[in-house]
Amino acid sequence: MVRTFKEFLGVEWVEGTGDFIKIDEAKCIGCRNCVNVCLAGCFEIVEKKARVKSLEKCMECASCWYVCSEDAVIFTWPLGGTGYKSDWG
C-alpha cells in the first residue's frame, strides 16, 4: 500500500517499513534535538522524553540519529522495498 501527503508533494511512502527508528528511553534526556531537525515531524516529547510519533512521513535522512548526543536514537533502514520513494530526487 502506497501513501501520499498533501504537504509533501511528489513523494510516496510504501507501507510495511517496520519500526526502523526507535528511542531508548533510558538514554533519552528530552533535549528536543530530534524534534528540531525532523522535517517530517516524526517525534514528540512526552513526559520529558522523546517518543516516535509516527514514521509515516520519514524520509530516512537520519538527522535524528546524528543529533542525538546520548545515542538514544536507534536508526536502521526500513525493510526492503518500503519507505519513501520519489522520481524527482
Partner 1 sequence: MDEDFDVIVVGAGFGGPVAARICAEAGLKTLIIERSGNVGDKVISGLTIPFYGFLLGPEFIRDGNPPIERPSDGIINYIIKDIEKGDIEIDDSLRVPKPFSPIFAFGYNAYCKPFCEWEVRKAVDTGAILKKSTTVIDIIKEDNCIKGVTTDKGDRIRSKIVIDAEGSKGLLAIKAGIREKYRPETISLADIYDYAMLKEDIDKVFGYSVKMCWGWDEQRIAPPLGYGNGLMVWPYRNSLHFMQDQCLRINKNHVPNLVELFKEYHSNITQKLSWWKNLVEPRVKLRARMWDGFEIYVGLNKKLRNMPNHTDGMILIGDAAGLESTELCDGVPAAWFSAEIAAKVAIEAIEAKDTSKSFLEKYDRKIKEHPIIQWSISGRNRYNLRIAQKEHDLKKLRKYIHNGWGLGSLTHFMTPFFKSLLSYVNNDPTIITKWIKMFFRYYQNWFYESYDYSRKRKFRETTSKKLKKMEMKFTRYLRLIDSLLKSLRKKQKFLSVIVVPLSNSLNNLMKKTLPIFEPIFSFILRLLNPISNRLNVKILKFVEYANPTIFYI
Residue 67 in contact with partner 1, rule: CB under 8 A: yes
The H or E element that residue 36 is part of is: helix 33-37
Binding region for partner 1 (CB under 8 A) out of 22-30, 45-53, 71-79: 71-79
- Alpha carbon separation from 67 to 39, 57, 80, 89 (Å, rounded): 14, 19, 25, 24
Residue 20 or 49: which CB sits closer to partner 1? Answer: 20
Binding region for partner 1 (CB under 8 A) out of 22-30, 48-56, 79-87: 79-87
Residue 49 or 65: which CB sits closer to partner 1? Answer: 65
Q: First and final CA of the chain: distance in angstroms?
A: 21
Residue 45 in contact with partner 1, rule: CB under 8 A: no
